[in-house]
Structure 1
Amino acid sequence: MSRSLVLFSIGPVQNFIDKARKTSDLYAGSSMLSDLIEFAIDTLKKREPGADIVFPDKDIKSKPNRFVAVIENQNDRMGLKETCVYVENSVKRKMVSTAKGLFRTLGYEYEPPGFVRQAESFLEVYWVVLPIKEQPYHVRYQEIDRLLNAVKNTRIFEQLTEGITQNKVGETGRKCSLCGERNALVYSSEDKESDKINPKTGLKRNFIAPTAVNIFHSLKKKAPFPLAEGEGLCAVCFTKRFYRHDEPLSAFPSTAEMALMDTLYKLDDRNVANYRKLFGDVFDEALFYEENLTERYFKKYKYPIGALERAKTMLKHIYESAETKGLKFSGYYAAVVLDGDDMGRWLSGEFLQDKSRLLRFHKSLSKKLGGYAREVNGILVPPKGKVVYAGGDDVLGFINLNYLAGVLDELRRKFPKLEELETTCREKKSSASLGVAVAHYKTPLSEVLTWARRMKDEAKREEDKNSLAVALIKRSGETVKTIFGWEMENGSPVTRVLGKIIDELKQGNFSKSFIRNIRAEFNPLLDSNGHYNARYIVREEIKRLVSRACMIKKGPDEDERDFENRKRLKISELVEILLKLMSESRSLNDYFSFLDIAAFIGKEVNDEQGKNL
């Protein structure tokens, strides 16, 4: 009986998932890859009953894009190779059958030419089989990981030829609206002229390939995720867009809904329910913003023009009701990316005291990360936010601003302490870095995701990693960013400072003018590297500026002495926080940006008292 190690990977991952115009695209893309890797695992286990899946944990909802298995069977190495080829082909057939099945749900008997070819050529499946034999598991694992990376660097190019016209050969025609890589084979247009072929170019109007199918009328009857007017998709992006077609529209919140999630949850009155009914079955939370109640917006998204004036009146009453409860209709939300630090080194066994126990460590690690993934799915729930995927050591999700500091704190605090596993070296502590992008709901989703990942990468470039990097993408086009180590000198997370400053500004205890004044006072102290000098004057100057910005009012039954003591204590607390933050910052630029972001969020979050940030 032979014993072999198998490493199996399906891609592309980030490039596929992040190319999304809607949050539902993002969620569906993540779900599709997770389901495919789960299908691959199940197929392998049916073919090889002796397969032991080392990781990922079987209970992780969002499976990562690869798995490791130890297989004991009576076949030789070539037999196991045939098994992996079979699994690879099965996964690709699954992708094609899924794409074809979704197209059939629209009522078409045949898909357009090139549709199957696009679906077939999309997946990048890589695998390596390595016999374990005399060498220990940890040696073979390091080797198989290196071999898989080498295989991925050898790419096979396959030319796609759909879009052939009478005069031209190759991919002639308009590219997919979502990925911009493959030809659009499915599109939606109410204009019948768009279906006519131009005799000069051999293409349909708007540079659509002649064989592309207009599914406008089918969408109106069958699909819960319609394409926008004039939008065209390739087979792969069509599959992603419609992958969760059997789920309700509310299965994954839009960016507008994400920004309003807490406000609508707390408001939840009859006015809101009646307002939703005004628009029928298809409702977009962007309609809660007065800026979208225009004839142009209604015509673009096919809302009844006759309901416009009534909608304006009803929304006004909703705003009035929200104001009495201290609720705001903020247009901003946050995207967060969390990634475990040095996970490659943890997996390789570099931090193990006894390398021979790597297999046992992998199984323990798999369960730990599986447990963390389940916790993440319990943290990011409405009205706090929503998980796109939680694969164990990596997380992508959205957070409502009212809960930003608290959710970030919880996500990082509950990240597994891998050093506590029995086989690890306790001198090394596990950690994770977080990248956050705070953006307006109308900012293109792809841009928000790019910034979130960019900030995560910047956080991981810090010397000790274990950092938080935040970018605020203002609607004006300005972007403010800051990076801080996760833990302050006293061991408390930097998010506690963020939450405290936001809370003080939100409750109106201090005017945010002190931030502007601190910047004006201390900018001249910056040296060429952005660091500050003259520390001895910092404390007194910050205390003076914070005192001037204090807006705490005396309570109606409060004694004058008690009021002065309460005021003095609040000022002292904020001064200490600001000084501690300054001492922890890499430069005044990071310090000022941190305060600017806190002030901006404080302006956007709800005003009701007792809010848990």
Structure 2
Amino acid sequence: MSKNYLFSLTITPIQSFIAQAKTTKDFYSGSQIISNLIQELLKQFPCKDDIIFPASNSIISNKIIARIAIEKQEELIEKLQKTMKAFLPLKALCNGMELKSKSPELQQLENVFQLFYSSVEITGYKESYFEVEKNLSIIKNMRLFNQISSKNICYVCGERESFCQDKNEKNRCTVCYTKSRYESESYLSTAGIASLYYRQKLDNTLYERYKENFYHFDEALLYEENLKEDYLKKHHHLNNKNIEEIKKQLQSLSKEKPTKQYVLINFDGDNIGKILSNGLDNIGKILSNGLDNIELETFHREFSTKLSTFSQAVNKIISDEKGRVIYSGGDDFLCFVTPYYLNEVLDQIKESFENNVNTYQEKISYSIAITISHYKAPLHKIIENSRALLKATKAKYSSKSKLIKGGIGIEVYSSSSLLAKFIGDYNEFTLLKQFDGKKINLYSLEQLFSFAKSDMQYSEYLLIINMIKLELKRFLGRREIGFSDDEVAKIQQLLIAQVNRNYSIDLDNFFGFFKTVEQLSKDNNE
């Protein structure tokens, strides 16, 4: 009788590979490469029903769990290794790149991804799962790191030696060059994301006529600030037309102007690894030692299906008119959204997660980083900042804190700097919506709290709590601000709740809330 083994596999890098991008083209292509690679790896498994996680090849998951017969294991590993090693070189060759055998260019493409796997005989699913994951963790920690050359470094990833130049004569490694040439699905520039809602309201005939003014059109040309001779020549847009006439034609498209901001949403489920290990019981009985053998495997298959359903829902929510999904892994996703649809998208995501994933008595939380940026801000910096914000949000709502998990971080950027930052829970975030259009005098607010210290302890706070509540009510109740008594009470509750949870006043975050209100209330078309 054939013995069955539990096989666990992970691929790295995933998120960092996608994040290595200078343009949205790089960003989309990185995601498309990972998605296509995972689909090819899943095809190598002899039987689809043996795959426990993920439930669908339509999501980007760096973890695969499957049952494998002992006699098929060696053949499977060989196929997986060959598929992964040959994937990028084949794509590069299809895009016209010349690759010589054993050349450093070829080696870059062959070695960019690492595959780690472990397998154990299934004696009991729960015990085997814990053992295979423990072994996999040890193997990953023993991985080798390639030393980075100090010369001719790729300007995109900043890691690998450059062997190519892109159309702008920038040095790229073969990996990042392949990204730039990869046939990804339709993508938009940051200006394209920012102007989505504006373009939906334009007369299509007039819009198409406007685009005919340029050799190469991109949505940055919907912003009058870019209709300058030096910009048009630099980007090869000019079509021997009078620039002043082009400006008049742009102005005739609409009385309104497109917003200059776009939104990057970074979503990640909390403690998914622990959930896979211990399981959640759908009938409300949480077992102290986790689920038993049959139940844990059933849970893994069920939970995988739920995550896949949620991933598909995310792709429907972020429709072409609202933004673009960069990647969706079931328990995490990254997407662009045009600001007009931000609140609608967040509400739909919350509803979908509750309906498709959070059907257990023991609830699953998630963290979100929302980065609102000017379309001219360097994309790679915004991506880095988004990842850092998600990490900070998770840290604030970690198991070590007194806060209930599930935070939302929000940052607002100009073309060159951070303007506002706030991290709160979902209820605190929804308060931002209620203050749309309110005029806040931040200087007056900061003067009001000039007596307070950022590290003020709870005992000190208790002495002045009534003073703070009274002054806050007086400030927010001013006629020029226009808050109702109910809104004032909610803001007071926000501060009091924050203090009671942390036993100190986080003034930076408190002021960050109002700075965010101020930035979101501005007209960002100018």
The bucket for the TM-score relative to the shorter chain is: 0.7 to 0.9
Alpha-carbon shift at residue 597 of structure 1 (Å)? 0.9
Identify the match of residue 401 of structure 1 among 319, 329, 339.
339
User: Hey, what's the Cα distance between the residues in 2 that align with 1:11 and 1:86?
Assistant: 17
> Residue 129 of structure 1 aligns to a residue in which SS?
strand
Q: Could you tell me whether the CA contact under 8 Å between 2:420 and 2:519 is conserved in 1?
A: no
TM-aligned CA deviation for residue 584 of structure 1:
3.4
Equivalent pair of 2:439/2:518 in contact (CA under 8 Å): no
Q: How does 1:78-477 map to 2 (within 5 A)?
A: 79-103=72-96, 113-132=103-122, 134=123, 136-156=124-144, 174-188=152-166, 227=167, 229-244=168-183, 247=185, 251-268=186-203, 270-280=205-215, 282-304=216-238, 306-307=240-241, 308-318=243-253, 321-323=254-256, 328-349=257-278, 351=280, 353=287, 354-356=291-293, 357-416=295-354, 420-421=359-360, 426=361, 428-461=362-395, 462=397, 463=401, 464-477=404-417
Give the 5 Å matches for 1:548-559: 548-550=478-480
Query: Does residue 593 of the first structure (1) align with residue 516 of the second (2)?
Result: no
Instruction: Find the residue that maps to 2:176 and give its secondary structure.
Output: helix
Q: Does 1:19 align with 2:20?
A: yes
Equivalent position SS for 2:353: coil
For the residues of structure 1 that align with 2:49 and 2:6, how far apart are their CA atoms? Answer: 10
In the alignment, structure 1 residue 529 sits paired with structure 2 residue 456: yes
Residues 173 and 454 (structure 1), Cα distance of their counterparts in 2 relative to 1, 3 Å cut: closer
Secondary structure of the residue aligned to 1:525 is: coil
- Structure 2 Cα separation of the partners of residues 130 and 542 of structure 1: 62
Q: Could you tell me how far apart the structure 2 residues matched to 1:102 and 1:149 are? A: 36
Contact preservation (8 Å) 2:394, 2:407: yes
Q: How far apart are residue 606 of structure 1 and its match?
A: 8.2
What one-letter code is carried by the residue in structure 2 that aligns with 1:536?
A: N
| Partner Cα separation in structure 2 for residue 12 and residue 277 of structure 1 | 42
Unaligned runs of 5+ in 2: 281-285, 500-505
Shift of the 154–400 alpha-carbon distance from structure 1 to 2, 3 Å rule, reads same
Q: What secondary structure does 1:9 align onto?
A: strand
Q: Is the radius of gyration larger for structure 1 or structure 2?
A: 1
Residue from 461, 483, 487 that aligns with 1:574: 487
Tell me the TM-score normalized by structure 2: 0.87
Paired position in structure 2 for 1:53:
51
Aligned length: 499
Task: Report the alpha carbon displacement of residue 113 of structure 1 after superposing the two structures with TM.
Answer: 5.0
1:68 aligns with 2:65: yes
Name the amino acid aligned to 1:129: S
Which amino acid in structure 2 is aligned with residue 84 of structure 1?
A: I
Report how far residue 109 of structure 1 moved.
9.5
Counterpart Cα distance in 2 of 1:96 and 1:286: 34
**Aligned AA (1:33):** I
Q: Which residue of the partner structure matches residue 520 of structure 1?
A: 447
Q: Distance in 2 between matches of 1:61 and 1:588?
A: 44
Q: Kindly state the Cα deviation for residue 311 of structure 1 after the two structures are TM-superposed.
A: 2.2
**C-alpha distance 128-51 of structure 1, shift in aligned 2 (>3 A):** farther
Q: Do the aligned partners of 1:436 and 1:470 also contact (CA within 8 Å) in 2?
A: yes
Unaligned runs of 5+ in 1: 161-170, 189-226, 487-492, 553-569, 608-613
Match of 1:501 among 397, 414, 435: 435
| Residues 28 and 244 in structure 1, CA contact (< 8 A), matched pair in contact too | yes
The one-letter code of the counterpart of 2:456 is N
SS of structure 2 residue aligned to 1:465: coil
Q: What is the CA deviation profile of residues 471-526 of structure 1, one whole-angstrom value per residue up to 9, with x for unaligned ones?
A: 2223352443211123xxxxxx3332111112xx1xxxx4333x543333233234
Distance 1:270 1:574, change over 3 A: farther
Contact 1:406 1:499 in 2 (8 A): no
The CA deviation at 1:396 is 0.6
Cα pair distance change 1:296/1:468, threshold 3 Å: same
CA contact (8 A) 2:4 2:121 kept: yes
| Counterpart contact for 1:437–1:471, Cα < 8 Å | yes
The answer to whether the 8 Å contact 2:39/2:58 transfers is no
Matched AA of 1:3: N
Contact 2:99 2:106 in 1 (8 A): no
Whole-Å separation in 2 of the counterparts to 1:584 and 1:456: 22
Check whether the contact 1:40–1:88 (CA below 8 A) recurs between aligned residues.
no
Distance 2:457 2:183 in 1: 49
- Quick check: 2:267–2:368 contact (8 Å CA) kept in 1? yes
Q: Any runs of at least 4 consecutive aligned residues in structure 1 with deviations exceeding 4 A, and if so which?
A: 108-113, 157-160, 416-419, 530-533
- Once the 2 structures are TM-superposed, how far is the Cα of residue 538 of structure 1 from its aligned partner? 4.1
Q: Which residue of 2 aligns with 1:3?
A: 4
CA contact (8 A) 1:35 1:63 kept: no
Shift in CA distance, 551/314, structure 1 to aligned 2, threshold 3 Å: farther
Structure 2: distance between partners of 1:478 and 1:33: 31
How far apart, CA to CA, are the structure 2 residues paired with 1:111 and 1:44? 29
The DSSP-based 3-state class of the residue aligned with 1:580 is: helix
SS in 2 for 1:381: coil
Sequence identity of aligned pairs in percent? 28
* Aligned-partner SS, 2:50: strand
Deviation at 1:340, TM superposition (A): 0.6
The structural deviation recorded for 1:547 is 3.9
Q: 1:310 to 1:115 in 2, by over 3 A?
A: farther
1:541 to 464, 467, 471: 471
Q: Deviations over 1:130-179 (max 9, x none)?
A: 111x3x1111111111211211122235679xxxxxxxxxx696322311
Q: 1:385, 1:400 within 8 Å by CA — same for their partners in 2?
A: yes
Decide whether the 8 Å contact of 1:333 with 1:440 is kept in 2. Answer: yes
Structure 2 residue matching 1:304: 3-state secondary structure: coil
Q: 1:9: how far off?
A: 1.8
Alpha-carbon shift at residue 6 of structure 1 (Å): 0.9
Question: Alpha carbons of 1:143 and 1:264: their partners in 2 closer, same or farther (altered >3 Å)?
Answer: same
- Partner of 2:334, secondary structure, is strand
Distance 2:99 2:11 in 1: 30
- 3-state SS of 1:20 partner: coil
